[in-house]
């Protein structure tokens, strides 16, 4: 046994038959997720909206998924395909840990997600199964390692983000804001405390929602905030509603 759970699955489990469609049909809709470095680790955030065409399908979608104790992904694109990819990765990482008596390396985790995206090529070309996720992880075997952010295109190409990454229909606004803050901000996002980073993440989604109808906004008056999770050497933890409210009230006062 070599610890490769994917080798036990049917070939191309996410592949669907069909023919290619116009490239215009591959534009992502209905989700906005992003990640950036701060002094406490990596912040990964997303809105709660899922749409079907021009209709709002849900405002309670969870798009930040924990894969194991030190890796998580943010989904952009087709939720059905993305959720199945996340479940496959969760099982793959746990299978490897149990069979090899050690955790999978960070490089192997990054490539595992890339392989699932390549296996999904047929659905991607047809336009109904497009997924362009973000990934954040930490090499636990290296005591000096820091969390990293990876972003992917729908065909499985992977790139490490130096400071931040974003995906989904509202991502252009967020990337622009993060670029400005990293270049001229004081403090820069990577220097921010957890409290400052959480407030920034909520404000970024509010900004994206102003220009993108498919992005669900943040409404503190209704106690609606972004889904935000922090990754560092201690593991992954979500930002609670109480923390959101406390951080927001202090920033706005």
In sequence order, what DSSP letters do the residues of 159-215 get, joined into one string?
A: EEESSEEEEETTHHHHHHHHHHHHHH-SS-GGG--HHHHHHHHHHHHHHHHHH-TTS
pLDDT of residue 88: 96
Q: For the purposes of burial, counting CB atoms within 10 Å of the CB of 241, is it exposed (0-12), middle (13-18) or buried (19 or more)?
A: exposed
Q: What is the DSSP string of 100-127?
A: HSSPPPHHHHHHHHHHHHHHTHHHHHHT
Across 45-76, b (16+ Cβ under 10 Å) vs e yields bbbbbbbeeeeeeeeebebbbbbbebbbbbbb
pTM comes to: 0.87
Inform me whether the pLDDT recorded for 24 exceeds 80: no
Across 157-168, b (16+ Cβ under 10 Å) vs e yields eeeebebbbbbb
- The average pLDDT across 171-199 equals 97
121: left (phi over 0), alpha (psi -120 to 50) or beta: alpha
**115 touches 100 (CB < 8 A):** no
16-25, 111-120, 202-211, 219-228: segment of lowest average pLDDT: 16-25
Inform me whether the pLDDT recorded for 194 exceeds 80: yes
Note whether residue 174 is domain-resident.
Answer: yes
pLDDT band at 4 (very low <50, low <70, confident <90, very high): low
CATH number of the domain where residue 191 is located:
3.60.20.10
Note whether residue 9 is domain-resident.
Answer: no
**Percentage above 70 pLDDT, the chain:** 88
- The average pLDDT across 131-159 equals 94
**Parent domain of 138:** 25-252
Inform me whether the pLDDT recorded for 130 exceeds 80: yes
Number of independent structural domains in the chain: 1
Tens digits of residue pLDDT in 83-98: 999 999 999 999 999 9
Catalytic site residue from 19, 31, 124, 246: 31
Note whether residue 11 is domain-resident.
Answer: no
Note whether residue 220 is domain-resident.
Answer: yes
Is-catalytic flag, 31?
Answer: yes
**Percentage above 90 pLDDT, the chain:** 69
For residue 93, what is the enclosing H or E element? helix 79-100
pLDDT band at 253 (very low <50, low <70, confident <90, very high): confident
**146 touches 179 (CB < 8 A):** no
Tens digits of residue pLDDT in 208-240: 999 998 898 899 999 999 999 999 999 999 999
- The average pLDDT across 187-191 equals 98
Note whether residue 63 is domain-resident.
Answer: yes
The whole-chain average pLDDT of the chain stands at 88
Note whether residue 1 is domain-resident.
Answer: no
Note whether residue 6 is domain-resident.
Answer: no
pLDDT of residue 22: 45
Note whether residue 155 is domain-resident.
Answer: yes
- The average pLDDT across 160-172 equals 94
pLDDT band at 23 (very low <50, low <70, confident <90, very high): very low
Across 109-139, b (16+ Cβ under 10 Å) vs e yields bbebbbebbbbbbbbbbbbebbbbbbbbbbb
């Amino acid at each position: 046994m070599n610890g490769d759970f994917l080798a036990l699955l049917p070939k191309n489990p996410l592949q669907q038959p069909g023919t290619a469609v116009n490239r215009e049909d591959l534009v992502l809709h209905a989700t906005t997720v992003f990640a950036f470095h701060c002094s406490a680790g990596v912040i990964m955030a997303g809105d709660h909206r899922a749409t079907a065409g021009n209709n709002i399908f849900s405002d309670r979608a969870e798009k930040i998924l924990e894969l194991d104790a030190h890796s998580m992904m943010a989904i952009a694109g087709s939720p059905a395909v993305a959720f199945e990819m996340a479940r496959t990765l969760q099982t793959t990482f746990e299978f490897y840990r149990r069979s090899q008596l050690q955790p999978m390396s960070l490089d192997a985790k990054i490539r595992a997600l890339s392989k699932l995206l390549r296996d999904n090529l047929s659905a991607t070309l047809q336009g109904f199964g497009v997924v362009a996720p973000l990934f954040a992880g930490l090499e636990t075997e290296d005591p000096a390692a820091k969390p990293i952010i990876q972003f992917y295109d729908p065909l499985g190409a992977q790139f490490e983000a130096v400071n931040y990454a974003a995906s989904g229909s509202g991502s252009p606004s967020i990337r622009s804001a993060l670029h400005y803050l990293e270049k001229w901000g004081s403090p820069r996002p990577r220097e921010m405390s957890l409290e400052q980073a959480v407030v920034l993440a909520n404000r970024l989604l509010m900004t994206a929602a102003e220009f993108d109808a498919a992005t669900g906004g943040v409404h503190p008056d209704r106690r609606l905030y972004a889904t935000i999770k922090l990754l560092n050497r201690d593991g992954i933890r979500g930002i609670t509603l109480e923390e959101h409210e406390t951080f927001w009230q202090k920033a706005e006062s």
